[in-house]
Structure 1
Amino acid sequence: MSRHIMDQARPEPNATHAGERLRCYVEIERRSGMHPAIRALHKRPATRGTDPLRLEQFARIERGQLV
């Protein structure tokens, strides 16, 4: 009776093949550059979420004080 498929040792991946796949992946990513949406997100101002009045209003609503 043979061992279960999960109990059998997997063959080691070929190191040159793994390196070649990684090199191709990196090359594709390098050629693609930065997506325009990512570039737009990086240009956004960093002042979002720093308004203490807005935070105070959210806390008030969470406590149930609607007026």
Structure 2
Amino acid sequence: MVVGDHFYILIHLKAVLELLRIIDRIVVRKEKSENKDTKAINILYEERLKKYNFLTLIFGKKFLEKFKK
């Protein structure tokens, strides 16, 4: 694979993760409007964000490993 291909793949993976975050925000807003227990919803949302950040970190590490080869 060419280095440009790796960047192309990484950019698209990052875009997919950002899209998932946006969808999650919309879902959280809807849950907040329907439910009065916003503290519990905020905690769940923070946990989801940690997972997305972890996925981004994993993809970044895998990308760097392939890039170094």
Give the TM-score category using the shorter length: 0.3 to 0.5
TM-score by length of 2: 0.33
Normalised TM-score (structure 1): 0.34
Bigger helix fraction:
2
Q: Which has the higher contact order (CA 8 A, sep 6+)?
A: 2
Say which one has the larger Rg.
Answer: 1
